């Protein structure tokens, strides 16, 4: 197409091409889900069906984008690990984050409607997600990143479980429950749950305590040096990634090295 005299406006655009050969993590997070969960009357502390809507939406993204090797999520957030050699959108930051945020938003709405036909989404209270992408230069930091998110899940879930037990079963007002928990450490909350309510926190559902992990599983994985491959060879590798099955787990990924060591492709 011939260039018009308006074409110059394009020069004002800026692109951030993310550093090549680094691990990318895109995290999406629900906008105002504290209010959203109240409006649509989520079970507290954990609405299992709503968590499954998050999981279905995230799984859809993992299936759809073969560069996603793994995803970890809890509450209203999900983190997606993209492989080091990912060339999606030439690694343009804005393209990546806007696409992931809108994919999450679209899939969430779709699966919400299937899960909650009795609670149709209202236009004034639509679920929306933001996204950010972070570049990590080595895999140890990627592991620490996922540990950070899983610790966060644990701390929040222990707090929320104790808080809502005090409110729903102990009859405390939210304010009193909050005051009761001020300054307590994990051991205090475990003890409170057990001594006053007979709840052993360890027996709470794994999905609540540990979050959800999706991971591409390869049979007979062999590492390949990608630089210098023809585009046909790259396509073949991509096809293999697309064919990989997707595992779903609710397990410890902080202390269990075997999770990572048995899946060397995550670091490659
Ligand atoms: P922001 O827009 O800044 O992210 P937010 O209200 O979404 O604000 P978050 O820190 O993301 O704040 O927290 C999400 C909140 O959503 C949780 O604190 C919890 O109250 C609620 N929530 C999300 N998922 C569930 C669920 N499955 N069951 C019950 N509550 C949930
Ligand atoms: P990209 O993901 O790179 O944006 P694209 O296929 O969306 O790829 P665009 O340059 O954004 O490419 O062009 C959008 C295309 O969508 C148009 O070229 C046209 O073919 C089609 N399209 C969009 N809206 C309409 C419409 N209302 N009626 C018919 N065709 C449409
Ligand atoms: Mg937030
Ligand atoms: Mg949020
Ligand atoms: Mg959140
Ligand atoms: Mg377009
Ligand atoms: Mg267009």
pLDDT at 225: 84
* Pocket, ligand 1, Cβ cutoff 6 A: 29-34, 37, 42, 44, 46-47, 50-51, 75-76
The answer to whether 152 touches 162, Cβ cutoff 8 Å, is no
CA 137, 73, 132 angle in degrees (round to 5)?
Answer: 50
What's the CA-to-centroid distance between 237 and ligand 6, angstroms? 27
pLDDT at 1 > cutoff 80: no
Residue 21 annotated as part of some ligand binding site? no
What's the CA-to-centroid distance between 108 and ligand 6, angstroms? 21
> Whole-angstrom Cα distance, residue 178 to residue 167?
10
Which atom of ligand 1 lies nearest, measured to the CA of 45?
Answer: 29
Closest CA to 73 of 100, 110, 38, 36: 100
Residue 183 annotated as part of some ligand binding site? no
Closest CA to 25 of 102, 84, 88, 105: 84
Instruction: Please report, to the nearest 10 degrees, the dihedral formed by the alpha carbons of residues 108, 111, 114, 119 taken in order.
Output: -20
The arithmetic mean of pLDDT across residues 108-121, rounded, is 98
Over residues 169-181, the pLDDT tens digits come to 999 999 999 999 9
> Whole-angstrom Cα distance, residue 58 to residue 6?
40
- With a cut of 0.85, is the ipTM above it? yes
Strand partners, 111: none
What's the CA-to-centroid distance between 128 and ligand 5, angstroms? 12
Across all residues in the chain, what is the average pLDDT? Answer: 97
What is the value of pTM for the model shown?
A: 0.96
> Whole-angstrom Cα distance, residue 212 to residue 155?
15
Residue-range domains of the chain with CATH? 19-149+206-266 (3.30.70.3000)
CA diameter of the chain: 77
Residue 31 annotated as part of some ligand binding site? yes
């Amino acid at each position: 197409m011939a260039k018009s005299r308006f074409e110059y406006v394009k020069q004002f655009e800026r692109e951030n091409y993310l550093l090549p050969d680094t691990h990318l993590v895109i995290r999406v997070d629900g906008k105002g889900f504290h209010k959203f969960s109240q409006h649509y009357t989520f079970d507290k502390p954990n609405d299992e069906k709503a968590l499954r809507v998050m999981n279905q939406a995230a799984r859809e993204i993992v299936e759809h984008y073969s560069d996603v090797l793994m995803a970890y999520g809890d509450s209203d957030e999900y983190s997606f690990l993209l492989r080091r050699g990912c060339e999606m959108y030439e690694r343009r930051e804005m393209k990546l984050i806007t696409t992931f945020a809108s994919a999450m938003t679209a899939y969430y709405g779709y699966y919400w409607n299937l899960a909650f036909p009795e609670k149709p989404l209202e236009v004034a209270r639509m679920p929306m997600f933001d996204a950010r992408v972070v570049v990590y230069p080595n895999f140890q930091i990627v592991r620490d990143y996922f540990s950070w998110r899983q610790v966060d899940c644990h701390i929040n879930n222990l707090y929320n479980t104790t808080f809502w037990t005090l409110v729903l079963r102990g009859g405390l007002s939210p304010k009193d429950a909050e005051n009761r928990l001020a300054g307590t450490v994990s051991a205090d909350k475990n003890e409170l749950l057990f001594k006053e309510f007979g709840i052993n926190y360890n027996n709470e559902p794994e999905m609540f305590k540990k979050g959800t992990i999706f991971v591409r599983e390869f049979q007979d994985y062999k590492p390949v040096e990608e630089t210098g491959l023809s585009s046909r060879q790259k396509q073949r590798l991509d096809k293999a990634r697309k064919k990989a099955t997707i595992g779903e787990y609710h397990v410890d990924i902080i202390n269990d090295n075997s999770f990572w060591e048995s899946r060397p492709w995550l670091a490659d």
